[in-house]
Structure 1
């Protein structure tokens, strides 16, 4: 039996902003898809790099954006980023 995969690294504020831009979602759209407040989304996006999101909120945002077609590129792949998942 193999061990579970390691948890995803926390999202950066730039990744959240870029992901929303790729799928043309406003902060309000992301808030609606995550049940988080718009204030929480905007506060996370204003940070210079790392967010102050709780692990649960970070994962909620990641899941919502991934379900919408975003793929997150973690920092060990040359720097954090985002791209659209290929169909």
Structure 2
């Protein structure tokens, strides 16, 4: 899978598994809440021009999510741990 390509379903699934609200994900990644809502509302790969998908991927991977498949063939996630490391 290309390094910055995530599907909306993968983003939603990863967030759900980690128990993160969309607001918390916005805070943790520095990506705007409206942008994240737009990403999660589409089918397939969200359009992104500011490197936000790469930021999301890196954050979610650091929290223990592995992205598997391709956007066109079996996109999904694999879980390696269940809570992101966040500064308190």
TM-score, length basis structure 1:
0.81
13, 16, 19: which one pairs with 2:14?
A: 19
Q: Which has the larger radius of gyration?
A: 1
Moved over 4 A (4+): none
Larger helix share, 1 or 2 = 1
Closer, same or farther in 2 for the Cα pair 1:59/1:9, shift >3 Å?
Answer: closer
Aligned to 2:42: 47
Gaps of 5+ in 1: 1-5
Distance, in Å, in 2 between the alignment partners of 1:73 and 1:15 is 9
TM-score, length basis structure 2:
0.80
Aligned to 2:28: 33
Query: Aligned pairs, how many?
Result: 80
Distance, in Å, in 1 between the alignment partners of 2:14 and 2:55 is 14
Larger strand share, 1 or 2 = 2
Gaps of 5+ in 2: 82-88
Q: CA deviation at 1:74?
A: 2.8
